[in-house]
A and B are shown apart, each in its own frame.
Chain A
């Protein structure tokens, strides 16, 4: 098992490193000068040149790259050009918001997705199964930003159950904080719930047709054991894959939702940093997201190994 984890971690290194290198070059190849962004339109060329020297932007690209590499390996990610604060101090507060949003969206997706998927598979072809499939197809087709707007209109503007937008941190009150996350979590969670329903249903149906499930029934085991122990166990493997993908998506893809609900999360930080040409923050955000994704994938792999001894014992 230790060897398995080491091998997985080794595979993870390029996953972190390659996107970072790509982002480094893409940022610098893209038009737009951070110095101009910082100083504004009225700055003189001398001021701009001075700031460029100060930021190290006058160096040739390969030198900048080597300095950046050095910074990366010593975890000196530099200061934000905009906030004038070290990137590593800036990110945790934003990451916390995104993590909370991801967590709630995932809870919604898993509770709905797993129960609806299992129910549909056990009632294959019955009315409830068809109903679930219908709702699922409908939900997958809903664009998240549109759903977000509808949710805001119905639950925030009309019913006034939740705030329209904004974020209240945990310290300022748990319930108030949760209330700010409910609508955004629903807006991104519903689609993931639908995807998870579909995957769970088809994985369950595949396994229910397996001969070993018939054996379990022929051996007279109670149906609860047949489903809970003999079917779910193997059906969980593809479902865990989809949950892993969902987490990756929620962590990195919630940008539009964070903007709509004005949540100060990683997505908002990243988008703002790109438009400000705040190179260190962009790189720091990408690093954070990449590391998180690697950790999520590692957890998914460990769950695989736990679920399926054939992977563990290879």
Chain B
């Protein structure tokens, strides 16, 4: 873990594959996923529910569902995680990887105090006494903007508001100064005004601690403010990857276009939202070729073959007919 140069990625995922066993049958849920996250960088993992983004995150923290098989390579700060023992792997959670869950109300313990939960993590990973851990926990709560931090240590999660709960969750995730934070839809359960505050806090934490951040979301709008790069997933595949700005303004994959078209725009006088036809194929029933082909307006015979993720302009895209930036055609969707 020594001498990591600035350019070495904190997280390097290569050919990640997750296969679940459903009714005794192996069903792939994530295939051939590769991406990197560098220190200080935030990467958005975008897609609809069921596209495999949460499964990817669970594989990275080493907590895939029961009976799941994880293949490929996951490196954290240059260290291969997939070959580590279960015990060594567990120790990295909380210390090198912090995880922020979507629903703080259910993701924090209902009958242990906020302070007890923070101290448990602190004392597991750092050599701290009871009193020191408590002081650190109070500092952490204060840092994430919780008023009367010392008194709040003795409160329970049901006594806090939604925004405060998510602040506690963030304090827990950053408590041992990890290298990587994985945030799984951290603002989805919050009011819009609170969402902005929590995002600001995450932004501060990121620059203060030089965190690499993997931000899982289905909401591209959130991504645009917050993340540097985006990885778009569809049916277990990465379909497009690139700088957020270029993906938002000039998506190359027809799925990404549809996804952006499905966000109501304020600045255009578009009357109708574009829709992506059809539905995400269920697990185990993915098409053999391009998995988006059945819903794609540009699909033809060549799409019966599975395309590779190829560099295209500033991004990488998995499509036989990527949308070209220059040829600004009018909406072919919907």
Residue on B nearest A225 in the bound complex, by CB: B120
Question: Does any Cβ of B come within 8 Å of A310's Cβ?
Answer: yes
Stretch at the interface among A72-80, A177-185, A215-223, A275-283: A215-223
Complex CA–CA separation, A223 to B124 (angstroms): 11
B111–A219 touching, CB < 8 Å: no
B107–A221 touching, CB < 8 Å: no
Complex CA–CA separation, A262 to B95 (angstroms): 63
* Size of the chain B interface, CB-CB below 8 angstroms: 28
Question: Does any Cβ of A come within 8 Å of B106's Cβ?
Answer: yes
Complex CA–CA separation, A210 to B106 (angstroms): 7
- Given A218-B61, A219-B172, A225-B124, verify A310-B108 contact (CB < 8 Å): no
Complex CA–CA separation, A215 to B120 (angstroms): 12
Question: Does any Cβ of A come within 8 Å of B125's Cβ?
Answer: yes
A310–B121 touching, CB < 8 Å: no
Chain A stretch 99-148: residues in CB contact (< 8 A) with chain B? 124
- Given A217-B63, A219-B94, A220-B124, verify A211-B106 contact (CB < 8 Å): yes
Residue on B nearest A310 in the bound complex, by CB: B158
Return the CB mask of B100-130 against A: 1 if under 8 Å, else 0. 0101001111111000000011001100000
Complex CA–CA separation, A308 to B95 (angstroms): 29
Question: Does any Cβ of B come within 8 Å of A47's Cβ?
Answer: no
Chain B stretch 68-108: residues in CB contact (< 8 A) with chain A? 90-95, 97, 99, 101, 103, 106-108
Question: Does any Cβ of A come within 8 Å of B286's Cβ?
Answer: no
Chain A stretch 213-234: residues in CB contact (< 8 A) with chain B? 214-223, 225, 229-230, 233-234
B156–A216 touching, CB < 8 Å: no
For B95, list chain A residues within 8 Å (CB).
220
Chain A stretch 279-314: residues in CB contact (< 8 A) with chain B? 307-310, 313
A216–B111 touching, CB < 8 Å: no
Question: Does any Cβ of B come within 8 Å of A25's Cβ?
Answer: no
Number of A-B contacts (CB under 8 A): 77
A214–B107 touching, CB < 8 Å: yes
A220–B92 touching, CB < 8 Å: yes
- Given A218-B99, A220-B95, verify A234-B111 contact (CB < 8 Å): yes
Chain B stretch 187-235: residues in CB contact (< 8 A) with chain A? none
Least CB distance from B3 to A in Å reads 24
Residue on B nearest A307 in the bound complex, by CB: B111
A219–B93 touching, CB < 8 Å: yes
- Given A221-B121, A221-B124, A222-B124, verify A216-B90 contact (CB < 8 Å): no
Question: Does any Cβ of B come within 8 Å of A212's Cβ?
Answer: yes
Taking a contact as CB atoms closer than 8 A, the residue among B63, B109, B125 that contacts A212 in the complex is: B109
Residue on A nearest B157 in the bound complex, by CB: A212
A233–B120 touching, CB < 8 Å: no
Chain A stretch 149-168: residues in CB contact (< 8 A) with chain B? none
For A230, list chain B residues within 8 Å (CB).
109, 112
Given contact pairs A218-B97, A219-B124, a sample of 14 additional A-B residue pairs in the complex whose CB atoms are under 8 Å apart: A212-B109, A214-B101, A215-B99, A217-B63, A218-B99, A219-B99, A220-B91, A220-B94, A221-B124, A225-B120, A229-B112, A307-B111, A310-B111, A310-B158
User: Hey, which bits of chain B sit against chain A, CB under 8 A?
Assistant: 61, 63, 66, 90-95, 97, 99, 101, 103, 106-112, 120-121, 124-125, 156, 158-159, 172
Q: Which 6 A-B pairs have the closest CB atoms?
A: A220-B94, A220-B93, A219-B94, A218-B99, A211-B107, A211-B106
A-B contact pairs, 26 of them (CB 8 A): A210-B106, A211-B101, A211-B106, A214-B63, A214-B101, A214-B107, A215-B99, A215-B107, A215-B108, A215-B172, A216-B109, A216-B120, A218-B93, A218-B97, A219-B93, A219-B99, A220-B94, A220-B95, A221-B121, A222-B124, A233-B111, A233-B112, A234-B111, A307-B111, A310-B111, A313-B156
